[in-house]
């Protein structure tokens, strides 16, 4: 690695490295972020959840949304895969079904950015131990 | 640079490494490779998370899952279940001992709730052996700011304004110390980092150096800039091999990046750091003794003045600060003195790192704002006393500090409050004692330590502490008298008043504070010749309760010295003159008929 010759150099390196550490800093305060969980069980992956997850990670980062995208196991809605669960800061989680790339885009633009609900919401019918 | 979707952080502190955290790291990496996920999941070994009680710790991000007591063979399950299927491994999560609830996110654990991590900000967060991760988290930005935007005096003023006081124990204002060193003109000056952490049971500085070595290097360079020194020396004890290794890596990386060396960041400022190893003598934590040890002389203190700021290493102006003090500096520069001095109390700003040890549930490393009470630290963060026993005392300040009791629990912790109640902040060791601990023996333990560690240069410390130890030994043997207590007090005061350095001036503190706070216990030893907590072997007597004894002969058959007499189905009797107090009889008795008096 070349020498850091000035403060501007240092700042530039920092910016480049920041993206790598970004995820760790966000994890310190997950409640302040948009949390998106993608159901990645066999059924989800078979229906394209992997691509949806990649898209969500990239699109939220590009559009300047502070988010944590994680994968989770089968949420039980195998009829509506891929499914994603979106938790806005301070709000109850909302589950969307049949999320393809187009739908994922719509969820970001409408629900996450403007708070409008979009079609395909699945009522949450379970509680998890995380909600303590 | 590749961007990972998930990060797995593993504690690489000395404690967790001793419990095979390196094997965990290897197994995790192997499991990821087997599943073809090594491009997507990053495995990082970090510094200490502080929750040493339940180590090794493994943390998974971004969902902030906190796994405890992980074993190398758990690695595959973590990858298979958590990483691939997104299901948390329930059996490795922390269970709140009071609420009996599983807590997966460390933020909701009682241990972390009250903590503010400034000096420990990067411990358990970044890989200490990777300078890039330090830079990504504001690393070396403070040095850059000082060199390009601030004059040396402006930096000193900022530190003065922050109210930062020396974290090694004395509590001297850091900004003032820097100012003294900056005002003395010389052709060569030195910045010294005191990493000679010597208190029994203390591991704050070691953990900072293991978890975030760059923060100390950066702060030393800032200090060098303020006082006009181009040379830094880290005095570290050779018994901290991991901290030494990580420092070596950090110094090498900083040199490669040009953040140590000549013309740092194009500012014309030169600064480089070297290491000096100590042999682990307690007295070398005293700054003049430390400097002599670095010069290759005997580790003995000398009278101040002259202070090191005038004549220190090789007779040149030298500024000595402790590791934790340095670790605070970059944050103060980055966030401003005004941010820092709002944390803590008026006269003791900021936070303090403590090493919790002894009879406490959550043994570990914590950082709390000054002004937090002992009760909060022991019960809320520390999780209370082990095995539900009763709290008796907490020892702060190591061999120089004192024992505080129940009535001090609501004292807010800061430099002045602890002094006022007869203890001291010290470097931050905190040892908790329960009802089973004998306070006379505790005082004896610390005196044993100071007798061993006294350098022998001045008579009060060399001879006086030895006499104190002998008196305490006499009392624990049951041969003490009430006059001995007065003698202990008098002698302690003389040693404090006449010793040359901090070691002797504070070594009688454990004696004085235990006499003050546990006078009854001393009286029981010298008048009734009894040890209320049953720790002093010479004062114990095993007795058989004739009411409860059924005469099963089990105790007599197990006694190694045949001192138990009695016929079958008749109550037995112990011959206390012959008894060696091994406790075998009490262990074997099925009827609880044997007790200690």
Q: Would you say B563 and B575 are in contact if contact means Cβ atoms under 8 Å apart? A: yes
User: B577 burial class (0-12, 13-18, 19+ CB within 10 angstroms)?
Assistant: exposed
Task: Give every strand in the sheet of B272-278, ordered side by side.
Answer: B272-278, B231-237, B190-195, B318-322
Long-range contacts of the stretch A97-102 (C-beta < 8 A, 24+): A97/A121, A97/A122, A99/A52, A100/A48, A100/A52, A101/A48, A101/A51, A101/A52, A101/A55
Whether pLDDT at A132 is above 50: no
In a domain, A52, yes or no: yes
Q: Tell me what pLDDT residue B468 has.
A: 95
- Residue with tokens 């910045």, as numbered in its chain: B191
Contacts of B310 (CB under 8 A, 6+ apart): B180, B184, B317
Q: Which residue of A has its CA nearest to B104?
A: A130
Give the domain range for residue A118: 31-122
Class of the CATH-defined domain B131-340 = alpha beta
pLDDT beneath 70, residues of chain B: 1-3
Q: Tell me what pLDDT residue B98 has.
A: 76
Of the candidates B1, B63, B103, the beta carbon closest to that of A17 is on B1
| Tally of CB atoms within 10 A around B226 | 25
Q: Find chain B residues with C-beta within 8 A of A40's C-beta.
A: 85-86
In a domain, A42, yes or no: yes
Q: Would you say B15 and B242 are in contact if contact means Cβ atoms under 8 Å apart? A: no
Residues A71-91 have a mean pLDDT of 81
* Integer Cα distance of B67 and B88 in angstroms: 9
Q: Tell me what pLDDT residue B431 has.
A: 92
Q: Find chain A residues with C-beta within 8 A of B260's C-beta.
A: none
* Integer Cα distance of B513 and B440 in angstroms: 11
- Residue B203 belongs to what H/E stretch? none
Contacts of A48 (CB under 8 A, 6+ apart): A82, A100, A101
DSSP string over B414-430:
SHHHHHHTT---TTSEE
CATH number of B6-109: 3.40.30.10
Of the candidates B62, B104, B258, the beta carbon closest to that of A70 is on B62
In a domain, A116, yes or no: yes
Q: Any idea which architecture B541-596 has in CATH?
A: 2-Layer Sandwich (3.30)
Rounded to a whole number of angstroms, the distance from the CA of A63 to the nearest CA of chain B is 17
Q: Tell me what pLDDT residue A110 has.
A: 84
Measured between alpha carbons, how far apart are the two ends of chain B, in Å? 69
Rounded to a whole number of angstroms, the distance from the CA of B334 to the nearest CA of chain A is 14
What is the pLDDT confidence band of residue A131, given thresholds at 50, 70 and 90? very low
Print burial letters for B538-555: b (CB count within 10 Å at least 16), e (below 16).
ebbebebeeeebebbebb
Q: Tell me what pLDDT residue B340 has.
A: 96
Tell me the domain boundaries of chain B.
Answer: 6-109, 131-340, 351-434, 439-526, 541-596
Class of the CATH-defined domain B351-434 = alpha beta
Q: Report pLDDT digits (tens) over B455-498.
A: 999 999 999 999 999 999 999 998 999 999 999 999 999 999 99
Q: Tell me what pLDDT residue A129 has.
A: 57
User: pTM (2 decimals)?
Assistant: 0.84
- Residue B94 belongs to what H/E stretch? strand B94-95
Number of domains in chain A: 1
Q: Report pLDDT digits (tens) over A20-53.
A: 777 777 777 777 788 888 887 777 888 888 888 8
CATH number of B439-526: 1.20.1440.230
- Nearest residue to B6 (alpha-carbon basis) of B78, B73, B55, B57: B78
Residue B94 Ramachandran class (φ > 0 left, ψ -120 to 50 alpha, else beta) = beta
What is the pLDDT confidence band of residue A126, given thresholds at 50, 70 and 90? low
Rounded to a whole number of angstroms, the distance from the CA of A37 to the nearest CA of chain B is 9
The CATH number of the domain holding residue A82 is 3.40.30.10
Q: Helix-strand-coil percent breakdown of chain B, rounded to 5?
A: 45, 15, 40
């Amino acid at each position: 690695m070349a020498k850091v010759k000035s403060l501007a150099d240092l700042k530039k390196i920092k910016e480049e490295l920041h993206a790598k550490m970004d995820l760790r800093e966000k994890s310190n305060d997950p409640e302040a972020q948009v949390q998106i969980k993608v159901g990645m069980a066999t059924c989800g992956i078979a229906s394209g959840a992997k691509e949806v997850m990649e898209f969500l990670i990239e699109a939220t980062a590009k559009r300047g949304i502070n988010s944590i995208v994680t994968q989770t196991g089968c949420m039980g809605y195998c009829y509506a895969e891929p499914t994603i669960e979106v938790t806005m800061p301070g709000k109850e989680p909302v589950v969307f079904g049949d999320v393809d790339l187009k739908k994922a885009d719509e969820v970001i633009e409408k629900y996450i950015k403007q708070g409008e609900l979009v079609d395909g919401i699945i009522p949450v019918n379970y509680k998890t131990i995380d909600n303590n | 640079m590749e961007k990972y979707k998930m990060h797995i952080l593993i504690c690489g502190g000395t404690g967790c490494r001793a419990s095979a955290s390196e094997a965990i790291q290897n197994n995790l990496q192997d499991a990821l490779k087997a599943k073809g996920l090594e491009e997507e999941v990053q495995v990082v070994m970090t510094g200490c998370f502080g929750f040493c009680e339940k180590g090794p710790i493994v943390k998974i991000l971004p969902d902030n899952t906190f796994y405890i007591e992980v074993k190398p063979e758990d690695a595959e399950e973590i990858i298979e279940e958590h990483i691939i299927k997104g299901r948390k491994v329930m059996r490795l999560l922390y269970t709140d001992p009071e609420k009996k609830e599983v807590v997966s996110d460390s933020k909701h654990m009682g241990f972390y709730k009250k903590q503010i991590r400034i000096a420990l900000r990067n411990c358990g967060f970044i890989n200490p052996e990777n300078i890039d991760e330090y830079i990504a988290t504001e690393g070396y930005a403070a040095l850059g700011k000082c060199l390009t935007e601030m004059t040396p005096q402006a930096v000193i003023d900022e530190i003065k304004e922050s109210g930062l006081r020396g974290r090694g124990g004395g509590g001297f204002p850091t900004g003032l110390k820097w100012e003294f060193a900056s005002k003395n003109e010389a052709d060569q000056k030195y910045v010294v980092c005191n990493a000679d952490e010597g208190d029994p049971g203390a591991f704050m500085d070691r953990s900072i150096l293991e978890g975030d070595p760059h923060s100390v290097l950066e702060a030393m360079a800032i200090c060098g800039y303020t006082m006009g020194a181009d040379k830094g020396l880290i005095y570290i004890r050779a018994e901290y091999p991991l901290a030494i290794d990580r420092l070596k890596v950090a110094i090498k990386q900083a040199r490669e990046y040009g953040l140590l060396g000549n013309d740092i960041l194009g500012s014309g400022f030169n600064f480089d750091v070297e290491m000096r190893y100590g042999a682990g003598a307690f007295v070398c934590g005293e700054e003049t003794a430390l400097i002599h040890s670095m010069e290759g002389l005997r580790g003995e203190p000398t009278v101040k003045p002259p202070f090191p700021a005038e004549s220190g290493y090789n007779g040149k102006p030298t500024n000595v600060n402790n590791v934790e003090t340095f670790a605070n500096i970059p944050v103060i520069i980055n966030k401003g003195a005004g941010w820092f001095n709002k944390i803590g109390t008026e006269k003791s700003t900021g936070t303090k790192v403590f090493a919790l040890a002894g009879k406490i549930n959550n043994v570990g490393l914590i950082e709390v704002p000054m002004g937090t009470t002992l009760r909060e630290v022991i019960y809320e963060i520390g999780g209370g006393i082990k095995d539900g026993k009763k709290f008796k005392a907490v020892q702060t300040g190591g061999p120089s500090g004192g024992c505080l009791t129940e009535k001090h629990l609501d004292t807010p912790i800061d430099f002045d409050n602890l002094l006022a109640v007869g203890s001291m902040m010290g470097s931050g060791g905190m040892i908790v004692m329960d009802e089973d601990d004998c306070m006379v023996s505790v005082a004896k333990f610390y005196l044993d330590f100071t007798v061993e560690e006294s350098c022998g240069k001045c008579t009060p410390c060399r001879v006086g502490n030895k006499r104190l130890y002998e008196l305490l030994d006499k009392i624990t043997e049951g041969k003490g008298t009430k006059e001995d207590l007065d003698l202990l007090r008098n002698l302690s005061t003389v040693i404090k008043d006449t010793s040359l350095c901090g070691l002797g001036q504070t070594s009688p503190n454990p004696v004085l504070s235990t006499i003050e706070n546990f006078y009854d216990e001393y009286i029981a030893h010298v008048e009734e010749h009894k040890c209320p907590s049953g720790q002093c072997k010479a004062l114990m007597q095993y007795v058989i309760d004739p009411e409860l004894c059924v005469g099963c002969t089990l105790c007599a058959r197990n006694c190694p010295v045949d001192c138990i007499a009695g016929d079958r189905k008749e109550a037995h009797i112990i011959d206390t003159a012959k008894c060696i107090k091994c406790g075998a009889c009490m262990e074997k008795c099925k009827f609880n008929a044997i007790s200690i008096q």
